[in-house]
Amino acid sequence: MTNEDISKVKELLDSPKKVVIVPHKGPDGDAMGSTLALKLLLEGQHHEVQLISPNDYPDFLKWMPYQEEVIIYEKEKEKSDQYIKAADVIFTLDFNHLSRAGDMKPVLEEAEADFIMIDHHQQPDDYAVVTYSDVSMCSTAQMVYHFIENIGLKDSLNAQIATCLYTGIMTDTGSFRYRSTTSLTHRVIAELIELGADNTNIHENVYDTNSYGRLQLLGLALQNLKVVPELRTAYIVLTQEELDKNNFKKGDTEGFVNYGLSLEGTVFAAIFIENKAEKIVKISFRSKGTFSVNDFARLHFQGGGHINAAGGKSDLSLEETIEKFISILPDYKTSLAK
């Protein structure tokens, strides 16, 4: 953060304020971890804080400290709109464009509050008075740690805040393995453990609480894996019918896309998940090395993200979406073929 931004934040928060915090639609561990941590910190500073998530989040995050205080916009629109209209300061975390807030976009666009963005995605939009954006950061949770440090509130960290931040960093780094995991990340993690984040418990809560349906769905996803060996690409397709048969719940397909990438020789992986209720196909992309799935998702599938992890969607049918994907792939022959 620049000194100017630090001063602006301190000024905005120098007296008790009405604060709203918003993660991206389809919040993951980093989105929930970073927003909950910030909520706890600011409440400790006597601000009135409301965390509003555009939609619901997966069960494997429903053990997190104070998550029961989160309002789900889709379920409580009127109440949420009131909070947003009355807010002095609105933090948007772990996303770079208001369209990522789903149905909350219009009311956020009209809000009179000062916006503060904390985010690590590529190409941040320009709607905030303070934009703390760093695409080299492994997670927004690590950025929230630095944010707290920068505004001089490190002494206010506690075990619950540390637990939320640990969860965000752990989930967005694939348990500390992706390239964005640095020695500084490990130093921050060490401090969070010292503050009382129970690392073994957090790993178990997130990764060892699978439902039977999710494991069955994973089996199906692996059977559905298709490989395009000459373009070092692997992809998975899951139909609405397959999801329904296995009692699909939000978050059940989290991480499936990585299995495609784990296949020897693969540099590009995708998963296509049919969502008949929203009339879209939700897509996740992953890559190894220099192939930018952020660019790929932006250009072809209304999405974006990071170089090696991005998402997007398609309004075409599932079959047409796959056809489109297959037809585009050869354009990337120079980057994908060996």
Q: If contact means CB under 5 to 8 A according to the sort of partner, which of ligand 5GP, Mn ion, none does residue 309 touch?
A: ligand 5GP
Residues contacting 182, CB < 8 A, separation 6+: 138
Tokens linked to 163: 């637990």
Instruction: Give yes or no for residue 17 binding ligand 5GP (CB under 6 A).
Output: no
**How many residues interact with ligand 5GP (rule CB under 6 A)?**
13
Tell me whether residue 141 or residue 318 sits nearer to Mn ion (CB atom): 141
Q: If contact means CB under 5 to 8 A according to the sort of partner, which of Mn ion, ligand 5GP, none does residue 119 touch?
A: none
Name which of residues 263 to 322 contact ligand 5GP (CB under 6 A): 284, 303-306, 309-313
Tell me whether residue 39 or residue 313 sits nearer to ligand 5GP (CB atom): 313
Residue 31 C-beta: closest distance to ligand 5GP, Å: 7
Q: If contact means CB under 5 to 8 A according to the sort of partner, which of Mn ion, ligand 5GP, none does residue 24 touch?
A: ligand 5GP
Residue 48 C-beta: closest distance to ligand 5GP, Å: 28
Residue 109 C-beta: closest distance to ligand 5GP, Å: 17
Name which of residues 83 to 142 contact ligand 5GP (CB under 6 A): 100, 121
273, 253 Cβ separation under 8 angstroms: yes
Q: Which residue has the tokens 């965390």?
A: 51
Tell me whether residue 74 or residue 81 sits nearer to ligand 5GP (CB atom): 74
Contacts with ligand 5GP, residue ranges (CB under 6 A): 24, 100, 121, 284, 303-306, 309-313
